Structure 1
């Protein structure tokens, strides 16, 4: 499961204490199992939004590389896998834009609404049969919509509670369940309809899911959410608006114009676009890091914390590179290399993508309770990252075994694929929640929001990397592909274990 699916929950409290109190007082504080009624609104909004997104994602790769006669676009398999990775990378990058638009221009509530509308129209564009143009239009709409919605819906949730409210953690846990339930149900429903009957019916179901999210949100936000999400916390002054247009608006217009011209002249090919995203995936977080490290607002101790964060960030990139291949390479493996008639039933290849949220829901409480039980004896943050990389690498070694035993022509028992998804989830539970916590702890005070963007950019960089490496995956190179990436992750985990004491010294007492 990606950061996106778990809806990594980042709270951005209003800057003014009086505004914060005013917002809390405007929200009905009971009505949903002892929580504000607004939690119900956001829970089901996010459930349907996740149903929409992961329903689309469950069949997207198949839609791209299936032949036109089977209802697909007929794109080559390697290009389809690369495009899917680029798609995910851009979704995470766009969160930077969405956070800025919310904080400086329209607020979180409107950002969620407008983002949902863009996502819905993106799925509608996908439901138009056989149109490559509409496919790329849908990508733009869903990327921009996700950028607006994702960073802001959890911000709205955080604003409903007083900063010291004991119910806050429980509220985010309930919200997290909505995320995973939507992600679990979507491949089962949309995957079945899309692959058994028609891709465009599947995408249409995803659009309906987003429409239901918008209905729930629009009808209940005024009554249940009060003023949550309505404040623009750091609005642009008139002078800043003029500067923003010059610094951001004009360059954006120029870039869009150049892209359109390049597209019409043939200068911008799919491969060049993939390469461009690959570069941006690493350049953007590098620039973020340099700006934070060199800023006069960053203290000497905070610079040390930033240095400690570098190996954690790189480890996260490696981990998410493997985890995100669950919806690309492993989805292809399920389609082409897995025995789908098993134990008297026919397994839809999209169903495997429901395993990740299922395992997350089942095992997150166990891993969480393990850390609590260990208390001060639990592993350090770098060591937990090391375990995350170790399990990620083992998940690829697991899927390598059946090919080694039976060759790359025989169909594989589906339980091997189930085991691979399970192992990487254990790694995710070691790394992902810890990564969020570490990011907030190691962030310079003046750059707390930007630091959280850095954490999301680890996933963007990972998928940008995947867009470059998935082209090396073929039935003939399968063992080499899984083996090389799996062993690389295991070796990096060993290096991280060895470096953990040194990294801890840079963390200046942060555990």
Structure 2
């Protein structure tokens, strides 16, 4: 049977997605190095700012999604977000080396990311009817395109920054975003059936003025709000408020659907463990990148490899391992029960711990030249990249299987908040405190101690999850009522699968 082709509009979304990932991950690969080399930030200050920026780009999509649903529509939100991100990257590339220019550029990118990130997925969803079998293939294509952009960007931007300077590297990221937007705009005729701007809503009077005036003021003032958060280290307070709101939403779900309370508690646990996993994984863009820059022998065939290029290792490992896992598991059952989910989480955490232990061993065995092995560094980063395949996809699959009307999207957003925004901010807190200089400790031994501690935390988390699974299993073995409930769940799951 011939597989139905995808709607033409998807290829313009894919083109935009490739270049959005190119711009975002290209700039991200340079940022921590720019802060420490060019602006002379100390490690603690650089990691704190990097983590605050990385966390805020996961908070703003909550507000961007609301604006798209109520006023802009997904297509206009995506265009507006891409324009703002292009502007932010160009400001970062063209502005002089000043804190004001840096904060403003990052704030504009944060706002643009908020309008873009969640709404491009929603726009893709508008291309299909609810029963269209092409939907899953379309989302897989968009995901693969993003990974392609994240592989290429650190290489391209890193090489340009090494040869021509930091600002040309940032500018290249902005040019990539502009190119993606241009590709998307050339295909607007294919998006005529998607939701447009809500003109009635924008014209409606709300507190004296029409909503479009309030929206314009909000978009113009939002960058300065985020400048203040970055400058005065207030990101944690915003995250606290948003997290309290998310917690109240989950409590409301449990009260309104008591029959699903057990499943919701499992998802809360997955969010908590996933957040701790990403606290470890997000060290790749900050503390690990600084270690590579200072202590890894990056010479290969007489050429010095730019530090930013190592950010591609993670994406390459995910693409290769993801394809291999997809091939190996192509005939396995799609159903995933509680224990299976946690076993996969354990495996992901175990791989993360092994990756950090390998980095610690590499730091310990620095030779007389004071440089660590590049091959061992790549191996450690690859293991850590593969570990991601056993966390987010598993958790997202479990969330989307929850049969409660109208909560899947909210829970997905809360999961992104926990594993994106909170994890990035906590990663900065952990790195700045755990890497604080100790008496009689050299810089290289400080990194060795930090990596060892991260590895031990990963393995301790493995042990905690394993103990909880074992206790749960023993409880069910000794509880006939729990056994009957589990059997009923298996029967229901089998019926749903068939």
TM band (smaller chain): 0.7 to 0.9
* Mapping of residues 72-221 of structure 1, within 5 Å: 72-127=38-93, 128-221=95-188
1:282 is displaced (CA, Å) by 4.9
The residue that corresponds to 2:350 in the other structure is 390
The equivalent position to 1:61 in structure 2, one of 23, 28, 32, is 32
Give the equivalent residue in structure 2 for 1:303: 261
1:318–1:236 distance in 2 versus 1, CA, 3 Å: farther
292-301 vs 484-493, which deviates more?
A: 292-301
Structure 2 residue matching 1:498: 3-state secondary structure: helix
The aligned counterpart of 2:190 is 224
Question: What is the CA–CA distance in structure 2 between the aligned matches of 1:494 and 1:235, rounded to whole Å?
Answer: 53
CA distance in 2, matches of 1:234, 1:308: 42
Paired position in structure 2 for 1:12: none
Range moving further from structure 2, 402-411 or 355-364: 402-411
Deviation track 1:12-52 (CA, whole Å, cap 9, x = no partner) reads xxxxxxxxxxxxxxxxxx9x992211111011111111111
> Aligned pair in 2 of structure 1 residues 478, 427: CA closer, same or farther (>3 Å)?
same
Q: CA deviation at 1:336?
A: 0.6
Which residue in 1 is equivalent to 2:479? none
Match of 1:36 in 2: 7
- Rg larger in 1 or in 2? 2
Q: In 2, Cα distance between the equivalents of 1:172 and 1:258?
A: 34
Match of 1:460 in 2: 421
**Aligned: 1:509 with 2:478:** no
Q: Secondary structure at the match of 1:446?
A: coil
**Counterparts of 1:268-283 in structure 2 under 5 Å?**
270=231, 273=233, 276-283=234-241
- Tell me if structure 2 keeps the 8 A contact 1:309–1:442: no
Residue 331, structure 1, aligned to residue 298, structure 2: no
Question: Over residues 50-81 of structure 1, what are the superposed CA-to-partner deviations in whole Å (9 max), with x where a residue is unaligned?
Answer: 11111111111111111xxxxx2222222111
Q: Which residue, 238, 245, 250 being the options, matches 1:287?
A: 245
Cα shift readout 1:316-344 (whole Å, capped 9, x = no counterpart): 11111122211111111111111011344
- Is contact 1:293-1:303 (8 Å) kept? no
- Aligned residues between the structures: 464
Quickly say closer, same or farther: Cα 1:64–1:121, change in 2 above 3 A. Answer: same
Q: Distance in 1 between matches of 2:248 and 2:427?
A: 24
The alpha-carbon deviation at position 311 of structure 1 amounts to: 1.7
Residue pair 1:396, 1:483 contacting (<8 A) in 2 also: yes
Is 1:59–1:195's contact at 8 Å kept on the other side of the alignment?
A: no
What displacement does 1:256 show?
A: 7.5
Could you say which residue in structure 2 is the equivalent of 1:484? Answer: 453
Q: C-alpha distance in 2, partners of 1:269/1:106?
A: 27
Q: Structure 2 unaligned runs (5+)?
A: 438-442, 477-481, 494-498
Mapping for residues 285-434 of structure 1, pairs under 5 Å: 285-294=243-252, 298-375=256-333, 380-406=340-366, 410-434=370-394
1:55 and 1:279 map into 2 onto residues whose CA distance is 28
The answer for the alignment partner of 1:13 in structure 2 is none
Checking the alignment, whether the CA contact within 8 Å between 2:89 and 2:105 is kept in structure 1 is: yes
Structure 1 pair 388–231 and aligned structure 2 pair: CA distance change class (3 A): farther
User: For the structure 1 residues 305 and 48, does the alpha-carbon distance in structure 2 shift closer, same or farther, using more than 3 Å as the test?
Assistant: same
**Deviation digits for residues 126-176 of structure 1 (CA, Å, limit 9, x no counterpart):** 011212211100111000100110001111111112222222222222211
Cα distance in 1, alignment partners of residues 369 and 299 from structure 2: 17
TM-score of the superposed pair, with normalisation by structure 1? 0.82
Instruction: Note the alpha carbon deviations across 1:441-463, whole angstroms, 9 max, x for none.
Output: 34742333221111111221111
Counterparts of 2:128 and 2:249 in 1: how far apart (Å)? 33
1:242-270 CA-to-partner distances (Å, cap 9, x unmatched) read 8998xx99x989x989969x96xxxx885
**Unaligned stretches of 5+ in structure 1?**
1-29, 67-71
**Alpha-carbon spacing, 1:363–1:257, altered in 2? closer, same or farther (3 Å):** closer
Counterpart CA distance in 1 for 2:199 and 2:402 is 23
Determine if contact 1:306/1:443 at 8 Å carries over to the other structure: no
